[in-house]
């Protein structure tokens, strides 16, 4: 079943990833506003690198959701007190997520190809073996 998530879901999950709020807690308005400022520039950056995202308004498809959490956390990590090991893990996770999004966007852009057969090849002739 294909579902979608909202920007609010993305922000809440990213704040949990950044360890800014405990899982299931309500984030502060300040944290939400801070992450909101990263979303549109993040999407523009990805699209500038030919990673097309099928995001319309507040709707984020499931196949992109986890990757966008990793990338958004990477963009915002400087604003949160993470140790160097966690900082590096987020950078690596964001690179892997970008690679996956690139694959997803390529699959969305592919058009099914149509096989064209020349009329002369379509004539029914019996198969004759030279053996």
For 128, phi then psi, to 5°, come to -120, 125
Structure pTM?
0.73
Q: d(Cα 104, Cα 10) in Å, to the nearest integer?
A: 18
The per-residue pLDDT for 110 is: 55
Q: Which residues contact 59 (CB under 8 A, 6 or more apart)?
A: 4, 5, 6
DSSP 25: P
Q: Specify the fold of 4-122.
A: Hypothetical protein yqbg (1.10.3230)
The per-residue pLDDT for 103 is: 81
User: Any idea where the domains of the chain sit in the sequence?
Assistant: 4-122
Distances (CA, A) of 28 to 65, 108, 119: 22, 36, 68
The per-residue pLDDT for 129 is: 60
**4 DSSP β-pair partners:** 61
The per-residue pLDDT for 120 is: 56
The per-residue pLDDT for 51 is: 83
**Per-residue confidence in pLDDT tens, the chain, 131 aa:** 567 899 999 999 999 999 888 888 889 999 999 999 999 899 889 888 888 777 777 888 888 899 999 999 998 888 887 777 888 888 899 999 998 888 877 665 555 556 555 555 555 655 566 66
């Amino acid at each position: 079943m294909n579902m979608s998530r909202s920007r609010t879901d993305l922000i809440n999950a990213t704040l949990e990833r950044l360890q800014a709020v405990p899982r299931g807690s309500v984030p502060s308005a300040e944290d939400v506003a801070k992450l909101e400022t990263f979303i549109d520039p993040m999407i523009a950056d990805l699209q500038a690198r030919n990673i097309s995202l099928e995001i319309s308004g507040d709707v984020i498809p499931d196949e992109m959701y986890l990757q966008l959490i990793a990338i958004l956390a990477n963009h915002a990590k400087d604003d949160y007190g993470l140790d160097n090991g966690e900082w590096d893990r987020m950078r690596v996770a964001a690179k892997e997520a970008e690679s996956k999004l690139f694959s997803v966007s390529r699959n969305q852009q592919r058009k099914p190809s149509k096989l064209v057969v020349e009329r002369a090849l379509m004539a029914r002739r019996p198969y004759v073996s030279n053996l």
